[in-house]
Amino acid sequence: MSKNMLKFVSLDKKMPEKREAALRREDFQEIYDEFSSQKAKEQASRCSQCGIPFCQVHCPVQNNIPDWLSLTANGRLEEAYEMSQATNNLPEICGRICPQDRLCEGSCVIEKSFDSVTIGAVEKYITDTAWEKGWVKPNAPRQELDQSVAVIGAGPGGLAAADELRKKGYQVHVYDRYDRVGGLLVYGIPSFKLEKDVVERRAKLLADGGVTFHMNFEVGKDASFAELREKHDAVIIAMGVYKARDITLPGSGLGGIVPALQYLTSSNRVGLGDTVAEFDSGELNAEGKNVVVIGGGDTAMDCVRTAIRQGAKSVKCLYRRDRKNMPGSLRETTNAEEEGVEFVWLSAPKAFLGDEKVNGVKAIEMHLGIADSTGRQVPVEIKGSEHNIPCDLAIKALGFDPEDVPALFDEPALEVSRWGTIQADPVTAMTNLEGVYAVGDIVRGASLVVWAIRDGRDAAASVDTYLATASQKSLAS
């Protein structure tokens, strides 16, 4: 396996070619080109094949990264794909949107003296090639089981769970309130990071493999949660968190102040060919406007880069900490800067200005004080540093909280934490209700797609154990 490896001493790290910023500002296509076969082999060969692969340790799905890098470097691409998909149900998606600089690549042992291995781009190359060559096949279980499982939510956690359970032969039904499969992958993440045909082709593959999708289906409205429990042998709740965190400031009620997900969903729907009244009216369209995005996470990066593509007059990102302490991917920040976004570091909003519609944001400069109990320095206002920033569209990207799931499902017995997330056993993922499991953001809070995939896989294994045990008991009796 070690043939043609350890080339990091003679080969520099290279990413696939990135389209010029001036060109990518004009469309919503993905910004990176595909690796050529030769370049993918070269970059994979930089892996040191270290004894303790920290890239794998720090990958939520525990991808066998050194192994599939070695296989790629040696031209054994179909085997590399088989190994990649063995631990990840959505490898072509993770290769595009995972913050590798904070996970696998950021943990690469050669990073201290050399640049880390280009893991994400090679993963994308492997899986895109597999689709192109026809190596990706629908599930074909060895046996069909009578037991059925309901999965609430067609996002990454729900899709991973559905895929794993279908492989074992269970009758899997996915229920989702939206009209397309993918959840956040379709409506939250812009196409310049993840083109929607990538998600659609995965959804079709699952459907071809026997997963039944019930779209435009709202639990608590189209059927009660109790009815789903009665109809199915187990239930997995994988609905994510979508309620936007708000900020209470003077002027918050003015027009032109919108939550991030509403803005991104509108843009993605327009890209998919839907008619969106709020976009057509200009309410959710940044064209010709001075845009201010409040927040420093990945959602904020999606908003500023979307506004650029919509033809905004100016785009500023207001964040109360500095570049080093922002939660979003540094790679995404660099992409945004290249495209014309201005970052206003160490600055926080104090008020929204305007009469009926917002025309400015009053901001105040900050400095980082002493660290709190989490170890992060606390932002402190600098008195007398207030300043006004022109703004015709303010986008609040402050994170997400869960909806009131017990009320939404009319299931008051379902236990939730003080934050509103569903309480589930950390090992089995089962809630306090028998045969009901919960995964992803609705349990852990707003997090990464790859963690939702991991949770979905783990829950599927627990459901399999639970249903197999129930089946054995039934036969014994």
Q: Give residue 308's pLDDT.
A: 98
349 shares a domain with 281: yes
Q: Mind listing the pLDDT tens digit of every residue in the chain (477 residues)?
A: 456 888 888 899 999 999 999 999 999 999 999 899 999 999 999 999 998 999 999 999 999 999 999 999 999 999 999 999 999 999 999 999 999 988 999 999 887 667 899 999 999 999 999 999 999 999 999 999 999 999 999 999 999 999 999 999 999 999 999 999 999 999 999 999 999 999 999 999 999 999 999 999 999 999 999 999 999 999 999 999 999 999 989 999 999 999 999 999 999 999 999 999 999 999 999 999 999 999 999 999 999 999 999 999 999 999 999 998 888 888 899 999 999 999 999 999 999 999 999 999 999 999 999 988 888 899 999 999 999 999 999 999 999 999 999 999 999 999 999 999 999 999 999 999 999 999 999 999 999 999 999 999 999 999 999 999 988 877 776
Last residue of a domain, one of 82, 98, 133: 133
In a domain? residue 388: yes
Q: How does DSSP classify residue 407?
A: H
Range of the domain at 264: 245-400
Question: Which pLDDT belongs to residue 477?
Answer: 66
> How are strands ordered across the β-sheet holding 393-396?
257-259, 393-396, 290-294, 314-318, 342-344
Q: What is the chain's percent helix, strand, coil content, to nearest 5? A: 35, 20, 45
Contact 324, 40 (CB under 8 A): no
E-strand stretches of 301-355: 314-318, 342-344, 347-354
Are 47 and 70 in contact, with CB atoms under 8 Å apart?
yes
Amino acid identity for residue 261 in this structure: L
Domain containing residue 53: CATH number = 1.10.1060.10
- Note whether 58 and 177 are same-domain residues: no
Two structure tokens written together for 473: 């008991």
Report the distance separating Cα 188 and Cα 97, nearest Å: 12
**Within this chain, do residues 123 and 53 fall inside the same structural domain, yes or no?**
yes
Q: What is the pLDDT of residue 327?
A: 87
Q: Which helix (H) or strand (E) holds 95?
A: helix 91-97
Q: Is there a single domain that holds both residue 114 and residue 220?
A: no
Prediction pTM value: 0.94
The verdict on 453 and 324 lying in the same domain is no
Q: Is residue 104 part of a domain?
A: yes
* Whether residue 177 sits in one domain with residue 93: no
Say yes or no: 309 and 390 in one domain: yes
The CA-based angle 82-86-92, given to 5 degrees, is 75
Backbone angles phi, psi at 226, to 5 degrees: -60, -40
Which of the 8 DSSP states describes residue 313? S
- One domain for residues 49 and 176: no
Q: Coil, helix or strand for 57?
A: helix
Total count of domains within the chain: 3
Residue type, 374: T
Question: Among residues 370, 400, 430, which one ends one of the domains?
Answer: 400
Angle at 329 between CA 70 and CA 291, to 5 degrees: 145
- Domain with residue 469: its CATH number is 3.50.50.60
